[in-house]
Amino acid sequence: MRRARYREIIQSLTLMDDIFMTAVFQDSLPCVDLVLQIILEKPNLRATRVVTQDTLKNLHGHDLRLDIHAFADGQEFNIEIQRAKKGAEPRRARYHSSMMDANALPEGADYAKLPESYVIFITETDVLGMGQPLYVIERVIRGGGGRFDDGAHIIYVNGAMADTTTPLGRLMHDFRCVRSEEMYYEVLAKQAGAFKKHERGEVRMNAALEKLIEEVSEEKVERARETERLSSIRRMMEKLSVTAEKAMDVLAIPQSEWGRYKAML
């Protein structure tokens, strides 16, 4: 029963679904090349390495998980698939760009060694709301001074505009396509079909679904524990007239988490 249910879910997935996109693009340089070549209009671009769901660590703040993290000579790319408008805010794109920069430059290296960086958000709807299929955001010098060429680029792709008369429109059609045989681009169709039509691909997708279900369950447990802790902190503060810090100390809450709980009180 579970396997049949999983198969039904897998058959309904598209490249706009994070779990399916990860499977299709994992270790697939040709798929990454196709997307970058079309979006950036660079037909000769070839990625040398790709990592899906790559985590960038921030020792002093928020870690970042990149959907697709790719590299070419002197260039670095982050492709994000975003269905919800909330997850594609301009400041998130800015954070992605800054984290890529922070992780790209070794200690003591010259700033000129920073790679050209591209943060690309492929969104299900027209997040920026100007009716364009593609938005390219780069810094400029106000007052007619031209571009401020710092090598950082942010791009939003409007997935709602699937004009199949253009390469980009056909690509967006394929990203929203449930059936691989109806895709325009063979490299995507072949890779997507491998996970929907062949047992080996289905086994990998089943494992990915199991992992996702496990992660969601763990998140539920964590949220429940968080709610319980907040309730305990509030009760101690009210009943014993102690500070939030004292309450958290008594409750043996790790000091590294105090700031997060104080913000929620």
pLDDT in tens, 43-54: 999 999 999 999
CA contacts within 13 A on the Cβ side of 58: 13
Question: What pLDDT, on a 0 to 100 scale, did the predictor assign at position 219?
Answer: 59
Q: Is 16 helix (H, G, I), strand (E, B) or coil?
A: coil
Total-model pTM: 0.76
Q: What's the rounded Cα separation, in Å, for the pair 221 and 121?
A: 31
Q: What's the rounded Cα separation, in Å, for the pair 10 and 198?
A: 12
In the chain, which stretches have pLDDT less than 50?
none
pLDDT tens digits, one per residue of 125-169: 999 999 999 999 999 999 888 999 999 999 999 999 889 999 999
Residue matched to tokens 């109806």: 182
Please give the share of the chain, as a percent, with pLDDT higher than 90. Answer: 52
Report which of 227, 230, 255, 250 is spatially closest to residue 240, judged by C-alpha positions. Answer: 250
Beta-strand pair 152-158/116-123: parallel
Q: What's the rounded Cα separation, in Å, for the pair 105 and 112?
A: 10
Q: What's the rounded Cα separation, in Å, for the pair 120 and 125?
A: 14
Paired tokens of 48:
């040398």
Question: What pLDDT, on a 0 to 100 scale, did the predictor assign at position 242?
Answer: 72
Residue 195: burial class (beta carbons within 10 Å; 0-12, 13-18, 19+): buried
β-strand partners of 123: 82, 158
Q: What amino acid is encoded at 171 in this protein? A: L
Q: What's the rounded Cα separation, in Å, for the pair 254 and 226?
A: 13
Residue 149: burial class (beta carbons within 10 Å; 0-12, 13-18, 19+): exposed
